[in-house]
């Protein structure tokens, strides 16, 4: 049984019903790490936010089900799941911490919210687990006294406080410098092994995803275009978009032309009965603009394309 099963998720704007996420389905097994990659506007963050009903104002889930441990997540059970069984880390730690509240107090609050007695020792342990030196002094500090990397450590401490089954990380290192990113990546890997948690890692950075997860979901213009293991996706991608994306990363000879995808991604709601990538695709067939390709499986890999690329990069 999968730990999390998202089926036919569709997200749209509340006001005028513009589709932002179109019929997205995927599963995460116990202890499995899954990455969603895509560019801005591909629907990767909205898909993740839908899981905990955290969609921003003006955007709503219009259809689809989200099952956790075989049971659909009902609004009344959200409080028991959110921050407890499934927790989340965001891109910008400054906006997710309360600037007026000491760090230690913010951690205690999580315990109280889940009816657990706030034990100071537990707060200090949570901080030292994420390698924050001098936990006592840190618990007594305000977020602005911390650097970006330290704040993200606090967020991770909060997210892992109740040993969740699933940690959703939405671009958690994008705002950080590379050396700090390295520390956070290593920290999450270490904590994952300790807690045996599943991870859903959202990122536009393929390098980071390749390092952090086992299974990769590639999203484009609101839809899933390809799913496979890291090895399959990077060595034998089938969807022309994935091929272009990976190709743009392959090291070219110094100062030689890089492989690029011409054009820009369309808005998800402008692609209805066609493939979203058709306008930029080198492999385009007449039917690509007449019909929406479904996700079909070939072994453990699946892709939504009428004219897939065979034989790897």
Partner 1 sequence: MSEFKLQVTGVSKSYVSKSKERSIQALSDITFEVKKGKILGIVGESGCGKSTLSRIIAGLEAPDSGSVEVTGKPHPVISKYVMTNSQRAVQLVFQDPYSSLNPRQPIYKAIAEVVKIYNPELSEENRAQRVNDLLRRVGISQDMSNRYPHQFSGGQRQRICIARSLAANPEILLLDEPVSALDVSVRADIINLLLELKEQFDLTYIFVSHDLEIVKHVSDDIMVMNAGRVVEKGSWKEVMENPQDDYTRTLIAAMPSLNREE
Residues contacting partner 1: total by CB under 8 A: 36
Q: Cα–Cα distances in Å, from 218 out to 77, 89, 225, 228?
A: 30, 20, 6, 9
- Backbone φ and ψ of 89, nearest 5°: -125, 135
Q: Cα–Cα distances in Å, from 78 out to 17, 67, 161, 270, 297?
A: 25, 12, 17, 33, 33
In the 8-state DSSP scheme, what is residue 228?
E
- Backbone φ and ψ of 121, nearest 5°: -65, -35
Three-class SS state of 259: coil
* Cα(3)–Cα(69) distance, integer angstroms: 5
Residue numbers 210-229 binding partner 1 by CB under 8 A: 210-211
Q: Is 114 in the site for partner 1 (CB under 8 A)?
A: no
* Cα(136)–Cα(253) distance, integer angstroms: 51
Q: Is 144 in the site for partner 1 (CB under 8 A)?
A: no
Q: Is 95 in the site for partner 1 (CB under 8 A)?
A: no
Near partner 1 by CB under 8 A, which window of 15-23, 135-143, 171-179, 289-297?
Answer: 171-179
Q: Is 236 in the site for partner 1 (CB under 8 A)?
A: no
* Cα(112)–Cα(108) distance, integer angstroms: 6
Q: Is 14 in the site for partner 1 (CB under 8 A)?
A: no
We find the least distance from the C-beta atom of residue 202 to partner 1, in angstroms, to be 14
Nearer to partner 1, 265 or 293 (CB): 265
Residue 245-264 contact track with partner 1, rule CB under 8 A, x = bound: x--xxxxxxxx-xxxxxx-x
DSSP string, 25-68: EEEE-TT-EEEEE--TTSSHHHHHHHHTT-PPTTEEEEEEEEEE
We find the least distance from the C-beta atom of residue 176 to partner 1, in angstroms, to be 9
Near partner 1 by CB under 8 A, which window of 104-112, 122-130, 189-197, 208-216?
Answer: 208-216
We find the least distance from the C-beta atom of residue 80 to partner 1, in angstroms, to be 35
Of 115, 133, 179, 310, which lies in the binding site for partner 1, with binding defined by CB under 8 A?
Answer: 179
* Cα(42)–Cα(206) distance, integer angstroms: 15
User: CA end-to-end span of the chain, whole Å?
Assistant: 34
Q: Is 96 in the site for partner 1 (CB under 8 A)?
A: no
Q: Is 311 in the site for partner 1 (CB under 8 A)?
A: no
Three-class SS state of 6: strand
Nearer to partner 1, 113 or 313 (CB): 313
Of 142, 185, 189, 292, which lies in the binding site for partner 1, with binding defined by CB under 8 A?
Answer: 185
Near partner 1 by CB under 8 A, which window of 59-67, 76-84, 126-134, 242-250?
Answer: 242-250
We find the least distance from the C-beta atom of residue 207 to partner 1, in angstroms, to be 3
Residue numbers 35-64 binding partner 1 by CB under 8 A: 39-40
Q: Is 71 in the site for partner 1 (CB under 8 A)?
A: no
Task: Determine contact, residues 234/246, Cβ cutoff 8 Å.
Answer: yes
| Contact residues: partner 1, CB under 8 A | 39-40, 177-182, 185, 204-208, 210-211, 234, 241, 244-245, 248-255, 257-262, 264-265
């Amino acid at each position: 049984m999968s730990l999390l099963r998202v089926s036919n998720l569709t997200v749209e704007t509340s006001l005028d019903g513009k589709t932002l996420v179109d019929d997205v389905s995927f599963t995460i097994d116990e202890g499995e790490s899954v990455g969603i990659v895509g560019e801005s506007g591909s629907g990767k963050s909205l898909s993740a936010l839908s899981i905990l009903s955290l969609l921003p104002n003006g955007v709503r889930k219009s259809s689809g089900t989200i099952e956790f441990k075989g049971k659909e997540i009902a609004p009344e059970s959200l409080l028991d799941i959110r921050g407890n069984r499934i927790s989340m880390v965001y891109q910008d730690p400054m906006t997710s911490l309360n600037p007026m509240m000491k760090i230690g107090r913010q951690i205690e609050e999580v315990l109280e919210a889940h009816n657990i007695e706030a034990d100071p020792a537990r707060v200090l342990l949570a901080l030292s687990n994420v390698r924050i030196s001098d936990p006592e002094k840190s618990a007594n500090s305000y977020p602005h006294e911390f650097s970006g990397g330290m704040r993200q450590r606090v967020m991770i401490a909060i997210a892992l406080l109740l040993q969740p089954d699933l940690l959703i990380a939405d671009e958690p290192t994008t705002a950080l410098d590379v050396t700090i990113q390295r520390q956070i990546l290593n920290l999450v890997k270490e904590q994952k092994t300790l807690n045996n948690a599943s991870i859903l890692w959202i990122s536009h950075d393929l390098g980071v995803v390749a390092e952090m997860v086992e299974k990769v979901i590639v999203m484009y213009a609101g839809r899933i275009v390809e799913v496979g293991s890291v090895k399959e996706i990077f060595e034998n991608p089938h969807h022309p978009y994935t091929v272009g994306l990976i190709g743009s990363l392959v090291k070219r000879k110094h100062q030689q032309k890089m492989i690029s995808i011409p054009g820009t991604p369309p808005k998800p709601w402008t692609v209805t009965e066609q493939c979203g990538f058709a306008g930029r695709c080198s492999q385009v067939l007449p039917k690509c603009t007449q019909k929406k390709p479904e996700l079909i499986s070939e072994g453990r890999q699946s892709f939504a394309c009428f004219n897939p690329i065979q034989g790897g990069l």
